[in-house]
Amino acid sequence: MAAYRCVRLIRSKSKKENIVLQLVETHNQMTGLQAAMAEVATLMEDSIQVLLPPTELPEAKLIDAMRYGTLGGGKRLRPFLAVATADMFGVSRSCSLRVATAIEFVHCYSLIHDDLPSMDDGQLRRGRPTVHKQFDEATAVLAGDALLARAFEVLADPDTHEDPRVRIALVAALARAAGAHGLVGGQMLDLMGEKTEFNEATITRLQRLKTGELIAVACEAGAILGRADAPRRMALRNYAHDLGLAFQIADDLLDIEGRENDVGKSVGRDATAGKATFISILGLDRAREHAALLSAQACKHLAVFDRKAALLEAAANFVIARRT
């Protein structure tokens, strides 16, 4: 409230005052976003606890590894996007949180598998030993597999939405994003990138598949749940497309400039593996500029939603400013 009054008091009179006004608005936007992301992160912990309860069955070790790989960490960006877009269409939180959790299960599965010795051989994830370090390699493979299956089980459950057509649309969208022309296809290109020199177009495709498709489905899921019309669904896809690429460039920058303790995972791995990234092609400065451009472009796609999309706009600014 005080910050709002402050904005009103300094209504632009000069260039300097305009800058101050902008700074205050950005600060307000980020504070609102942080609160909203923290809220979703808390709700996600509860939702994962409910959808992945501990067990004393003989396969408890597998469930423990799934819980270890999903609970207690991460920015929960994809769940936030799913919940925020669903909120825009007035969808109940009980539905959107189940969808957000399913998407996070797929994300966590991909991180667990990406960290395996046969892939990136990561030792640290979300500030803790990776799943294969904490348990063992075979358990990490199985935990990832079981999380992927659980994601679709959750979406197909009538508790997620009463209309089977909506549930099928959600299953189809997540399957597409997770599959050969999504996450897994992107990971394949990523592995090939260690031995092949990719041009900018192929790197863009790699990143769109590996990172962008899951971010896109998180945004689209809210629209599917809210039975949004085609133009609104397309606007969200376009927003997510630019957001995903901006997010990936920020991730590449963190891999070079971030400190392991802040980022919570091993850094410097792309350069060590000789992988082509946006930075190896564009250089640091142009990559940073490109990320800022994509973030601004992402916001433009939201015009159709007016102030309803304020949190998504803030998220586009957040992904390029983040330190973790």
Binding of ligand GRG by 258 (CB under 6 A): no
Cβ-based nearer residue to ligand GRG, 226 or 270: 270
Binding of ligand GRG by 130 (CB under 6 A): no
Binding of ligand GRG by 110 (CB under 6 A): yes
State in angstroms the smallest separation of the CB of 74 from ligand GRG.
3
Binding of ligand GRG by 111 (CB under 6 A): yes
Binding of ligand GRG by 96 (CB under 6 A): no
Cβ-based nearer residue to ligand GRG, 88 or 112: 112
Q: What is the distance between the alpha carbons of residues 105 and 69, in angstroms, rounded to a whole number?
A: 9
Q: What is the distance between the alpha carbons of residues 106 and 83, in angstroms, rounded to a whole number?
A: 16
What's the token pair of residue 263? 């980022």
Tell me the backbone φ, ψ of residue 274, rounded to 5 degrees: 70, 25
Among 7, 184, 189, 191, binds ligand GRG (CB under 6 A): 184
Would you say 41 and 65 are in contact if contact means Cβ atoms under 8 Å apart?
Answer: no
State in angstroms the smallest separation of the CB of 3 from ligand GRG.
28
- Taking only Cα atoms into account, the Rg of the chain, rounded to an integer number of angstroms, comes to 20
Judged by CB under 6 A, the stretch of 17-25, 56-64, 112-120, 195-203 that binds ligand GRG is: 112-120
Binding of ligand GRG by 187 (CB under 6 A): yes
> Per-residue contact track with ligand GRG, 141 to 180, x per CB under 6 A?
----------------------------------------
For residue 125, what are the β-bridge partners? 128
Nearest to 217 by CA among 73, 324, 110, 65: 110
Judged by CB under 6 A, the stretch of 73-81, 227-235, 272-280, 298-306 that binds ligand GRG is: 73-81
**How many CB atoms neighbour CB 90 within 10 A?**
8
Cβ-based nearer residue to ligand GRG, 226 or 244: 244
DSSP letters for 148-213: HHHHHHHHHSTTT-S-HHHHHHHHHHHHHHHSTTTHHHHHHHHHHTTTS---HHHHHHHHIIIIIH
Binding of ligand GRG by 276 (CB under 6 A): no
Among 251, 279, 280, 315, binds ligand GRG (CB under 6 A): 251
Among 7, 62, 71, 75, binds ligand GRG (CB under 6 A): 75
Q: How many residues bind ligand GRG (CB under 6 A)?
A: 16
Binding of ligand GRG by 47 (CB under 6 A): no
**Nearest to ligand GRG by Cβ — which residue?**
74
Strands annotated E in the chain: 124-125, 128-129
Nearest to 106 by CA among 68, 147, 154: 147
Question: Who's near 183: CB < 8 A, 6+ residues apart?
Answer: 106, 110, 177, 209, 210, 213, 214
Q: What is the distance between the alpha carbons of residues 86 and 222, in angstroms, rounded to a whole number?
A: 4
Judged by CB under 6 A, the stretch of 72-80, 168-176, 230-238, 299-307 that binds ligand GRG is: 72-80
Cβ-based nearer residue to ligand GRG, 213 or 313: 213
Classify residue 69 as exposed, middle or buried by CB count within 10 Å of its CB (0-12, 13-18, 19+).
buried
Contact residues: ligand GRG, CB under 6 A: 74-75, 77, 110-111, 113-114, 119, 126, 183-184, 187, 210-211, 248, 251
